[in-house]
A and B are shown apart, each in its own frame.
Chain A
């Protein structure tokens, strides 16, 4: 059963709803350095693999709770201009099935900006896409990341964005939530 964070399970992290849309930050330098002209340049699937720091899961940002200019910003890397891959939780869940995951979880967990701005938390993780799981079952997590990359078209990448200014709205407007999927 899927819960939204308006209906959290007491004592547990709020789960993301099926209809939610999330961002994944795309770092600069993800472009191919070479590709053949007769093929499309691939979207770099390693963007969807857990890093060594992703012990609790792959980081995502909830479109409904953080405006793109802030979602593309990391306080600890203020000079790096990230892009955002836009993807729905339902698509990720369908890929979970395709990749053969039996236990999955998309949960909101606070990051530094959430600590400043308060609830509802905008940061979330795909709990099952974590580094220890990757080290145990590389094939499954690579398949998952490859499928996500195949299904997130280049048109679903937005940005890069300038660094947010103090007067930039933190919570998204309706227009922000119409971001291209």
Chain B
């Protein structure tokens, strides 16, 4: 049994109305013969625990079993029964016998067809429909992306979050989190979502999600038909019209594959041995096919044949992996420290005097190439600060280490300091540290594909460190002042 997003919300709300956390724990123990704590964190609000429990049961194919047990436990809860009926779980009358605590009759065995097929009870799948996972992963073309943006513009925030949670293989890459970070749905968050879908080739999943929520929208139906989700061959624009421009990160459009493969083979064959071995080492399944030694050109061809063969990951996956290795492979590991030290953040930070001795406000070294802060830069600075302020108000409660308020204030002061010295160079990421703290990061890629990463790490025990990376190698690491006294009021607004 698998619920759609809106169904999940209805079921969730009905359970929260009908049960307390101890009641839920009791039902869980009776049904599954285990404490509720094995499934969810019980030290969280009822709403969160309920959602986690529903997801837990859904993942294990035990949702119907759980919902039936909850229904039995509350035979007089009209709202709960209405919801269970609406999701097709029961065929009992919606109005339960209020005066009698009769247990409603269930009509599906626990291991019924829904658990096996993954289809909701009472909603047999149309034989003409094709699941998104049955189709080749792909991106949306420009026109399709535009339509998706128009459709999503009418979604509510929670609807979008449920779509993301339900239809993406793993929201690890933070889609739901950054929806929350934006706080509301606007053009920016929708653009982020569409961009992510295109870069990860999740168009089928997204359009399937849209269909489940906007089944009568003709634009969505057209998109589904174009992608082949209705069981027909894909129509409309060619999948080659994806949004990704670099040559080495496409989803293998068939017409380009031969040329791309031959270019890639030549490029692979010219790699220094160490770099080729690094690429091979990232693909242990290739070991039985690709020798660990010998002329690189020959082994490159073998690797390519293997990748495109039945046991290989395919050319796009190989290219994607090579792209992750790009700086090392392209440069043969050569590191240009001088280029890294010319970074927009490195110049003022490395100019700070001493390691611990610098005072707030110091470090006003000359700016390399002063540029104005663009509207885009302004937005990035403000989004970064807003994300930090939000952490102050609502720290994450997912069990990870939480940055302390002092760390967040220090991060805000660093943002202000950096913005004053390099307004054209906002951060690209802020990350929590495993042991408590924050990383403020600015990563830039030059035209040759070399990466420079300037990073400030601020730990909860009040140490601050600046690290400069070039192609993932450390060029410089040094302690810096914990925070800066100068902090514009705007950062606390």
Contact = CB atoms under 8 A, between A and B. Distances in A.
Nearest to A52: B435
A51 B435 contact: yes
Nearest to A82: B399
A44 B281 contact: no
Interface in B196-221: 199
A81 B172 CA distance: 13
B443 A39 contact: yes
A91 B281 contact: yes
B433 A140 contact: no
Contacts of A99: 473
A11 B333 CA distance: 38
A161 B418 CA distance: 40
A181 B284 contact: yes
Contact of A150 (B431, B435, B472): B472
B127 to A, nearest CB: 28
Given A146-B472, A181-B284, A162 B60 contact: yes
B188 A33 contact: no
B18 interface: no
Contact of A33 (B39, B181, B435): B181
Interface in B387-440: 387-388, 390-391, 396, 398-402, 426-435, 438-439
B188 A157 contact: no
B191 interface: yes
Interface string B147-185: 000000000000000000000001011100110010000
Interface-central residue, A32, A52, A95, A97, by most chain B CB under 10 Å: A32
Contacts of B334: none
Interface string A68-84: 00000000011111010
Contact of A163 (B39, B321, B467): B39
B119 interface: no
A21 B172 contact: no
Contacts of A37: 188, 191-192, 195
Given A27-B399, A46-B439, A153 B320 contact: yes
B432 A33 contact: yes
Contacts of B281: 88, 90-91, 93-94
A98 interface: yes
A37 B243 CA distance: 14
Contact of B278 (A27, A39, A98): A98
Given A98-B333, A157-B170, A34 B400 contact: no
Contacts of A94: 277-278, 281-282
A80 B172 contact: no
Nearest to A142: B474
A8 interface: no
Given A31-B177, A34-B427, A35-B430, A163 B37 contact: yes
Question: Chain B, interface size: which category?
Answer: 35 or more
Interface residues of A, number: 57
B324 interface: yes
B364 interface: no
Interface in A16-72: 19, 21, 27-37, 39-42, 44, 46-47, 49, 51-52
B25 to A, nearest CB: 14
B59 interface: yes
Contact of B274 (A32, A47, A97): A97
Contacts of A181: 282-285
Contacts of B282: 88, 91, 94, 151, 181
A27 B277 contact: no
A166 B477 CA distance: 47
A28 B172 CA distance: 10
B402 A29 contact: yes
A131 to B, nearest CB: 11
Nearest to A42: B429
Contacts of B42: 79
B435 A151 contact: no
A174 to B, nearest CB: 14
B431 A32 contact: yes
Interface in A122-181: 138-140, 142-143, 146-147, 150-151, 153-154, 157-158, 162-166, 181
Interface-central residue, A27, A31, A46, A157, by most chain B CB under 10 Å: A31
B442 to A, nearest CB: 9
Contacts of B188: 37
Contact of A36 (B328, B380, B473): B380
Nearest to B169: A155
A142 B60 contact: no
B39 A35 contact: no
Question: What are the 10 closest A-B residue pairs judged by CB atoms, nearest first?
Answer: A29-B400, A94-B281, A34-B387, A139-B474, A28-B398, A35-B429, A88-B284, A34-B430, A80-B399, A31-B174
15 contacts: A29-B402, A30-B400, A30-B432, A33-B388, A33-B430, A34-B388, A35-B174, A35-B428, A41-B174, A42-B429, A83-B172, A98-B328, A142-B467, A164-B38, A165-B38
Interface of A: 19, 21, 27-37, 39-42, 44, 46-47, 49, 51-52, 77-81, 83, 88, 90-91, 93-95, 97-99, 138-140, 142-143, 146-147, 150-151, 153-154, 157-158, 162-166, 181
Given A154-B172, A181-B285, 17 more contacts: A28-B398, A31-B431, A33-B181, A34-B181, A36-B427, A39-B428, A41-B173, A51-B435, A78-B37, A98-B274, A150-B324, A151-B325, A153-B321, A154-B173, A157-B170, A162-B39, A181-B283
